[in-house]
């Protein structure tokens, strides 16, 4: 059974170009797939879903694309708040909060506050996120606690590091799914993926259907995990 599933949502821009559309239109189309994923997770009683929404590397993109993405995210959150509440979905934003765009901070804070009591599904938007940066930040926080005497260096363990990660609000994902054809993590959940299963889809993110999701789910059920035994 899957408790936590994570997605690297790759291929939005390539899908748009394939359709003869402006590259940013792929992001808008990708929003509909997120809605399908939420419904699928609720149906399968999956407790956590994490979406690689915007990486720290994505800041290298054009100002036009970033502005479009941030406006799209803000609009969709505002429109979707009632649906999240009705569905019992708690919304969390995970990443370097110091990098969150100012125009989005109030929206993020508002939807997190309105959905914090909901328990059917925790929806994590990994936003302004990078796996290496997350680990470095965790180490810095631990070092500061050792220096101040709050923590002994002898007590530092894997669990200590995990507790200080940005994504400490949920268990490690059993399954990580990537669309778009590439077979790499791209700085996504590097610490948490130690024992995750991987599934790579050749289709672009806006092309994902319920059949794809069913296939991924059934494939996971058939895999045997030994954890080193």
pLDDT by residue (tens digit) across 32-72?
Answer: 999 999 999 999 999 999 999 999 999 999 999 999 999 99
Strand, helix or coil for residue 87: helix
Tokens of residue 154, six digits:
């002898």
Among 67, 55, 70, which residue's Cα sits nearest to residue 9? 55
- CA 96 from chain centre, in angstroms, equals 13
pLDDT by residue (tens digit) across 59-68?
Answer: 999 999 999 9
Tokens of residue 111, six digits:
């939807």
The domain spans of the chain are 4-129+173-222
Show which residues are catalytic: 10, 58
The per-residue pLDDT for 6 is 98
Tokens of residue 72, six digits:
């799209």
The per-residue pLDDT for 228 is 55
Q: pLDDT averaged over the chain?
A: 95
- Look up the CATH number of domain 4-129+173-222: 3.40.1180.10
pLDDT band at residue 223 using 50, 70 and 90 as cut-offs: confident
Count CB-CB contacts under 10 A for residue 6. Answer: 25
| pLDDT of 226 above 70 | no
């Amino acid at each position: 059974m899957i408790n936590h599933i994570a997605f690297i949502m790759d291929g939005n821009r390539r899908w748009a170009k394939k359709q003869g559309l402006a590259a940013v239109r792929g992001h808008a189309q990708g929003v509909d797939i997120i809605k399908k994923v939420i419904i699928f997770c609720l149906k399968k009683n999956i407790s956590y879903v994490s979406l690689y929404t915007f990486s720290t590397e994505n800041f290298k993109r054009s100002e036009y694309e970033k502005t479009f993405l941030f406006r799209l995210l803000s609009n969709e959150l505002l429109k979707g708040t009632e649906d999240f509440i009705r569905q019992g979905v708690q919304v969390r934003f995970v990443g370097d909060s110091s990098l969150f765009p100012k125009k989005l901070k109030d929206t993020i804070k508002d939807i997190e506050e309105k959905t914090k009591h909901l328990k059917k599904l925790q929806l994590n938007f990994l936003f302004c996120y990078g796996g290496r940066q997350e680990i470095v930040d965790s180490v810095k926080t631990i070092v500061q606690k050792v220096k101040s005497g709050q923590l002994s260096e002898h007590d530092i363990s894997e669990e200590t590091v995990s507790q200080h990660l940005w994504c400490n609000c949920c268990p490690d994902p059993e399954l990580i799914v990537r669309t778009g054809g590439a077979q790499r993590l791209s700085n996504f959940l590097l610490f948490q993926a130690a024992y995750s299963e991987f599934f790579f889809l050749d289709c672009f993110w806006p092309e994902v259907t319920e059949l794809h999701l069913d296939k991924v789910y059934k494939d996971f059920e058939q895999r045997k995990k030994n954890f080193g035994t």
